[in-house]
Chain A
Amino acid sequence: DTGVSQDPRHKITKRGQNVTFRCDPISEHNRLYWYRQTLGQGPEFLTYFQNEAQLEKSRLLSDRFSAERPKGSFSTLEIQRTEQGDSAMYLCASSPPRGESYNEQFFGPGTRLTVL
């Protein structure tokens, strides 16, 4: 088990461009979360998937942010028309459907986005 992986690890883009990040959860983890974290703050919830269904999302995801998990495995987070305020670390986490670790979220290493 290699843990949660995210790609790319770093992304530098110009304001106004679209970016897409990918998250591969731990195998057989059915729950997947996206967060955004800026320096000195805790992770900010963006959205949550159970299998392929997006069950919760913050108000952020009603605008330029969108997320998908089409086959209930990997997920993508897209930011359209990026703004400098979007610069942050984007974290993905996953949780198993049952077992001792049911209540744990296993975080990936994150994608650091810099918008110039």
Chain B
Amino acid sequence: GQNIDQPTEMTATEGAIVQINCTYQTSGFNGLFWYQQHAGEAPTFLSYNVLDGLEEKGRFSSFLSRSKGYSYLLLKELQMKDSASYLCAVRGNTGGFKTIFGAGTRLFVKA
């Protein structure tokens, strides 16, 4: 089966750093994704990891450990506009591009 776990909610302070964790169990693996979704809007792509290690993109970084089935999204210098849901998603290796999303972590950034 396939399962993705991430915390339901997190709260952090403007200017701080926050780490959102994701653990997954899948029957195959062909990449892990993080998407951002503001309330009432569609998800937007943040990052893609297929090899172990850290990928950095501006204020956002994403880490993957395939042996542990674990990833995290690191957000630095938090801004109020970062208040959103952060979705962890895993793509299997069935030959297609089926992507399974977690329920998302709602991040609240307070002043």
Which positions in A face B, CB cutoff 8 Å?
31, 33, 35, 40-45, 48, 50, 55-56, 91, 95, 103-110
Contact = CB atoms under 8 A, between A and B. Distances in A.
Interface stretch (B13-21, B69-77, B99-107): B99-107
Contacts of B102: 42
Interface size class of B (residues with CB under 8 A): 20 to 34
Contact of A107 (B43, B48, B104): B43
Nearest to A103: B48
Question: How would you classify the secondary structure of chain B's contact residues: helix, strand, loop or mixed?
Answer: loop
Interface of B: 4, 31, 33, 41-45, 48, 87, 89, 94-104
Nearest to A107: B42
Nearest to B45: A104
B96 A56 contact: yes
